[in-house]
Structure 1
Amino acid sequence: MDPVDVALCLAMDVSASVDFDEFGLMAGGTAAALRDPAVLAAATSGPRRAAAVCLLLWSGVGAQDLAVGWMRLDGPDGAAALAEAVENAPRLPPPGATAIGEGMAAGLALLGRFPAEARRLVLDVSGDGRHNAGRAPATMRDLAVQAGITVNGLAILNEEPDLLDHYAAEVIGGPGSFAMDCADYPDFTEAILRKLRRELGGTLVA
């Protein structure tokens, strides 16, 4: 793969609290965002005019699967191919605990092995519950910061209305990191659109 401005690992919660309809809303919402011209514009706004994106699904300890390997986002064809891959990604890990730290560890490993040169490395964690198994997310966050990797979060508040506080305190870190929330899964599309614009463009998009 040729060099990119940003390598972005989307790490998506598929624990027991996320049913199949909710997973469909996450995957479909992410695919819709990737088809939005504003996301492609953000991905191609840097000097290399390209980003790379992968999709990691996670639940409990030992339950992390790469659903979509690294794909280049550098034009309409790349955006369409990536959106289709995300939309059709199978829900690979079995439902289980909410091991945010373990999902983060798998995402950081993917970024550490990214097969090209990237100006920025970003881990995007989305989920609807607090960490309750495995390594603490704060430990993984600290390792990411030491490695120069940015960790951002998107908290879905349908089951835990104060989840954003957990993400802000325990999950996010690194250069320009931020946490966002959305009220429920039907709101995920709009939230992930804003998040991807901000992550890929590296600018403060409201």
Structure 2
Amino acid sequence: MRRRDFVTLSAGLIAAPALLTGRRAQANTTSANEPVDIELALAVDVSRSVDAEEQELQFRGYAAAFRDQRLIDGISRGAIGAIAVSFFTWSDWNVQELLVPWMRIDGAATAEAFAGAIDAAPRRTHLYTSISAAIDFAATLFGQGFEGTRQVVDISGDGVNNSGRPLAEARAAALDRGIVLNGLAVLDRTPPPSQFAALNPPLDEYYRDQVIGGPGAFLMVAEGFDAFENAVRRKIIREIALNPPPGPLVERAFA
């Protein structure tokens, strides 16, 4: 090999890592997550204990919350003035469906777009209730396009964990990552037969003691599905508050 060719080749080999580094730096800059005040994953129970009418009340409740001016005003008061929200349904250990991927909400127009996406989402019902799998699935969603000062999972449901791995394991794994778990327990106006009711603690106590966790975590209790819209609106307004003041561990909403 002639010396001139060797020098040219050597220069190219030396330059290649620098070029690759530059490309990586550019890629990292391009893919950097956008800062928001909070990343909020909304997890909605669609197990068989939730009938079609009750499922519709849940979907409409979330959509109505994002059309509420009080919620939009709360977003605007954040340090950044924007939040990222996703919406998924859950049931069996292997059934989680991301119906509305992460969306940035910074005002009435984007809030309406999110509400409209919920309105248009399919309604499907499955069998069992795996809160643990819902938590595990939600944990995989964070950090995808957005970086919030807080990462919160908002779990709504009307039953206890009866599918998937132990709830305590999933809860502990999420808390170790700094994820906050809030709950929205929906109390059924029609109580189960006494022989079944005795098998589990009251749902509000179950969510309080075994589901929620993390700094500032709290439980909203909807006294029946008719109270769901009021409950979810109050809950999300509290979740997105800038430096939320200490509030009750458990709040109750009525129709």
| TM superposition score category, shorter chain reference | over 0.9
Alignment partner, residue 29 of structure 1 = 61
Within-5 A mapping of 1:80-99: 80-92=112-124, 94-99=125-130
Alignment partner, residue 59 of structure 1 = 91
- Offset of residue 91 of structure 1: 2.4
Q: Distance in 2 between matches of 1:83 and 1:182?
A: 21
SS in 2 for 1:10: strand
Structure with the bigger RCO (C-alpha within 8 Å, sep 6+) is 1
- Offset of residue 42 of structure 1: 1.8
Q: Distance in 2 between matches of 1:122 and 1:53?
A: 10
- Offset of residue 95 of structure 1: 1.0
The letter of the residue matching 1:199 is E
Alignment partner, residue 196 of structure 2 = none
Unpaired segments of 5 or more residues in structure 1?
A: none
The letter of the residue matching 2:204 is L
SS in 2 for 1:117: strand
- Offset of residue 136 of structure 1: 2.1
The letter of the residue matching 1:196 is I
Alignment partner, residue 69 of structure 1 = 101
Alignment partner, residue 153 of structure 1 = 183
Alignment partner for residue 117 of structure 1, among 135, 147, 153? 147
Alignment partner, residue 47 of structure 2 = 15
The letter of the residue matching 1:120 is R
Alignment partner for residue 131 of structure 1, among 151, 154, 161? 161
Alignment partner for residue 103 of structure 1, among 130, 134, 137? 134
Alignment partner, residue 194 of structure 1 = 234
Partners of 1:53 and 1:71 within 8 A in 2: yes
Compute the RMSD of aligned alpha carbons.
1.6
Cα shift readout 1:154-204 (whole Å, capped 9, x = no counterpart): 000105792011111111111110111011111100000110001111524
Q: TM-score, normalised by structure 1?
A: 0.93
Q: Distance in 2 between matches of 1:174 and 1:69?
A: 24
SS in 1 for 2:87: strand
Alignment partner for residue 177 of structure 1, among 217, 220, 233? 217
Structure with the greater alpha carbon radius of gyration: 2
- Offset of residue 2 of structure 1: 2.8
- Offset of residue 89 of structure 1: 1.4
SS in 2 for 1:3: strand
Q: Distance in 2 between matches of 1:195 and 1:138?
A: 23
Partners of 2:212 and 2:219 within 8 A in 1: yes
- Higher helix proportion (structure 1 or 2): 2
Q: TM-score, normalised by structure 2?
A: 0.76
